Amino acid sequence: MLTLLQNNKDLQISELIFDLIKEQIILNAISTVINLKIPDCLKDGPKTVEQLAKKTNTHPNSLSRLLRMLSSIGIFTKVKETQEEDGHERIKYGLTPTASLLQSNENNMLKNFSLLLGRQSFKRSIDDLQYVIQTGENSFKHINNLNIFEYLQQNPVDAKIFNEAMTAMTSSQVSSISALYDFSQFNTVVDIGGGQGLFLSSILKDNSNLTGIVFDLPYAIESVEKQQIQHMDSSSNVDNNGILSRCKFISGDFFKSIPSGADGYIIKNVLLNWDDESASTILKNCLNAMNFSMKSNQKYKKNNDHKIKPKLIIIDMIMPENNEISFGNLLDIMMMILTQNGRIRTKKEFTILLESCGFEITNILDSSSTSDPMSFLSIIEAMPKPISD
């Protein structure tokens, strides 16, 4: 009986190791075929390895082994065709719906995150976890000599891939966030660290009376301007529901100041990048922006009325209090690797952080209760604590 249990345990451990090796090799293989533009070469139909190797300037035998592996897990199709001329059989590889997602003109989580995690700057940092554990410092800086957002400012290729991955992630989260939270209550919202502006543009699209500001570092804002805000409506040049005229892009540094004048301040997937001290600076700058609006509007001060106070809407992942399996646990390690002590916070940690910065939490909504498997975010709504005279 004991031997049987031990065998079962060995089996489970072997499966775990197999999974770990499998995932690493598959991620590497997928980012390689994207970089070589193999899915693009197959858009007009299946091709032989020789045809693909010629088009992509690769080594036929190595490419054939890579495609054999990827077709074995359903990324490409592998079909045998009999040649009419000589009756010989030859193998052709083609697109599956998954491989179609890897084409250059596609924007989705699978493609964009495979590319991002395949970049040397990210891949080498992830491999360097031991350094993080030994020193308490992030390996991204150790490998790339710069903190992540300084690095992205100076490396436009990586910045573009990073921004596209964030935008693809946002696009998979927008509908469940909009279903959970009513943004129609606001007149003007600022999306702090709003990246390429996809989240803001989506809520502006749904709320035609709303105006908004995307606030981010110059590298992010300039790249949106360069793309002429194509993502706001990639299907046509039509300004969908007047979004362009209702949206401003402002570049700046949230450690210095945040635009004032709004009644909704959104901060999505940003606080997890920072330690408590930095997160406090961002939140206090946000409070300053809110206080500025409230001071210039006497009715806030007189009534101390919750209904007319600006609101802070934090959209972030919350770490479960008990150690249950969660994406939060994995992402927390990623934050340790990539950022300066960024972390996934528990509800309690968020409460302490917000209270110490002059906010009170008014609501917490959990999107994991929605049916969307991609939604692992929560919404924390907070307001400035009442101003005492």
Ligand X SMILES: C[S@@+](CC[C@H](N)C(=O)[O-])C[C@H]1O[C@@H](n2cnc3c(N)ncnc32)[C@H](O)[C@@H]1O
Written as one string, the DSSP assignment of 129-162 is: HHHHHHHSS-HHHHHHSS-HHHHHHH-HHHHHHH
Question: 349, 362, 313, 365: which is closest to 193 by C-alpha?
Answer: 313
310 near ligand X, rule: CB under 6 A: no
Residue 283 CA to residue 335 CA, distance in Å, equals 19
Question: 296, 295, 279, 298: which is closest to 382 by C-alpha?
Answer: 279
> Least distance (Å) from ligand X to the CB of residue 62?
35
Residue whose CB is less far from ligand X, 216 or 332:
216
289 near ligand X, rule: CB under 6 A: no
Tokens of 313: 């809407």
Which of the residues 68 through 97 are near ligand X (CB under 6 A)? none
158 near ligand X, rule: CB under 6 A: no
273 near ligand X, rule: CB under 6 A: yes
> Least distance (Å) from ligand X to the CB of residue 289?
13
> Least distance (Å) from ligand X to the CB of residue 286?
12
β-pairing, 188-192 vs 211-216, is parallel
151 near ligand X, rule: CB under 6 A: no
Question: 200, 221, 317: which is closest to 269 by C-alpha?
Answer: 317
**Residue of minimal Cβ distance to ligand X:** 193
Question: 144, 198, 158: which is closest to 175 by C-alpha?
Answer: 198
Number of chain residues interacting with ligand X (CB under 6 A): 17
Question: Within 13 Å of residue 177, how many CA atoms lie on the same side as its CB?
Answer: 29
Residue 7 CA to residue 144 CA, distance in Å, equals 44
Question: 313, 354, 185, 190: which is closest to 261 by C-alpha?
Answer: 190
270 near ligand X, rule: CB under 6 A: yes
**Residues forming a β-bridge with 249:** 214
Residue whose CB is less far from ligand X, 147 or 370:
147
253 near ligand X, rule: CB under 6 A: yes
193 near ligand X, rule: CB under 6 A: yes
Residue whose CB is less far from ligand X, 160 or 385:
160
> What is the spatial order of strands in the sheet that 47-48 belongs to?
47-48, 89-95, 76-82
Residue whose CB is less far from ligand X, 15 or 253:
253
138 near ligand X, rule: CB under 6 A: no
Q: Please choose, out of 106-114, 266-274, 302-310, 364-372, the segment that lies near ligand X by the rule CB under 6 A.
A: 266-274
Residue whose CB is less far from ligand X, 377 or 382:
377
Written as one string, the DSSP assignment of 201-256 is: HHHHHH-TT-EEEEEE-HHHHHHHHHTTTGGGGTT-SS-GGGHHHHEEEEE--TTT
| Per-residue contact flags (x/-) with ligand X for residues 162 to 181, judged by CB under 6 A | ----x--xx-----------
| Per-residue contact flags (x/-) with ligand X for residues 205 to 224, judged by CB under 6 A | -----------xx--x----
118 near ligand X, rule: CB under 6 A: no
268 near ligand X, rule: CB under 6 A: yes
CA R_g for the chain: 24
What does the binding site for ligand X look like in residue numbers (CB under 6 A)?
A: 149, 166, 169-170, 193-195, 216-217, 220, 253-255, 268-270, 273
